[in-house]
Amino acid sequence: MNLKLICSRARYLEFNPHKFAAATVRLKSPRCTALIFGSGNMVCTGGKCESDSRFACRQCVNILQRSGLKVGFSNFKIQNIVGSTGLDKPIDLIQLQKDFGPYVSYEPELFPGLIFRLRKPKIVFLLFRSGRLVVTGAKTEEQIHRYWNGFYEVVLKKYMDEADDLRCSSEYRIRNNTKDYNTSFFYDALS
């Protein structure tokens, strides 16, 4: 698809090839953003449910059809579902990292969250000291609920910090001096 030509016909499309290789359509209802690639593929983000995403994709196809393009809607599938929640207690990220080393990545100087990866299915939990967390990588809503419930019961309950109510990631990092056990090689290289 010639995205420059398409964007000159359709007023709802934004395209700047120097910034990104896809044209962008922003919809108000449902509040979604669609990326249209030169290959003819479209990626829609921001839908709150599968029906919102499907409807947004159909709206984008209609916009392209009204601008004179012969395009159709086919092969719709969900690639990734993201969920978020919060706990009423902070999470002991340091102990979680020590106990689940190969499954986690925690470098608080670079990113305040701990990344916990499951192998099959490839679901990722982003955990923050405050108790906030994000679950991503699921293909179905049922999969998100099932693995979240399992993760909460088997892992997370044990690492909710009952003794310390500190929720600020930077204060937590400073107080526990995480640089010593995690990135001391970097600080030694600076000296």
Say what the pLDDT of residue 71 is: 87
If asked whether residues 48 and 131 sit together in one domain, one would say no
Residue 71 belongs to some domain of the structure: no
If asked whether residues 90 and 179 sit together in one domain, one would say yes
Tokens read off for 71:
């395009």
CA–CA distance, 112 with 101 (Å, rounded to integer): 17
If asked whether residues 39 and 87 sit together in one domain, one would say no
If asked whether residues 36 and 108 sit together in one domain, one would say no
CA–CA distance, 90 with 160 (Å, rounded to integer): 6
Determine which helix (DSSP H) or strand (DSSP E) holds 53, and give its type and residue range: helix 50-66
If asked whether residues 150 and 88 sit together in one domain, one would say yes
The per-residue DSSP string of 105-151 comes to: E--TTT-SSEEEE-SSS--EEEE-TTSEEEEEEESSHHHHHHHHHHH
If asked whether residues 183 and 89 sit together in one domain, one would say yes
If asked whether residues 182 and 141 sit together in one domain, one would say yes
CA–CA distance, 37 with 4 (Å, rounded to integer): 11
If asked whether residues 37 and 9 sit together in one domain, one would say yes
User: Is the separation of the CB atoms in 15 and 2 below 8 Å?
Assistant: no
The per-residue DSSP string of 64-104 comes to: HHHTT------------EEEEEE-SS-B-HHHHHHHTGGGE
If asked whether residues 185 and 101 sit together in one domain, one would say yes
In the chain, the N- to C-terminal Cα span, in Å, equals 54
Say what the pLDDT of residue 115 is: 96
Total count of domains within the chain: 2
If asked whether residues 25 and 119 sit together in one domain, one would say no
Per the structure, the complete domain to which residue 116 belongs is given by 81-190
Q: Mind listing the pLDDT tens digit of every residue in the chain (191 residues)? A: 888 888 887 778 899 889 999 999 999 999 999 999 989 899 999 999 989 999 999 999 998 888 888 889 999 999 999 999 999 889 999 999 999 988 899 998 899 999 999 888 889 999 999 999 999 999 988 998 899 999 999 889 999 887 776 667 767 777 776 444 444 433 343 33
Say what the pLDDT of residue 165 is: 67
If asked whether residues 85 and 160 sit together in one domain, one would say yes
CA–CA distance, 115 with 127 (Å, rounded to integer): 6
If asked whether residues 85 and 61 sit together in one domain, one would say no
User: Is the separation of the CB atoms in 39 and 75 below 8 Å?
Assistant: no
Residue 76 belongs to some domain of the structure: no
CATH for 49: 3.30.310.10
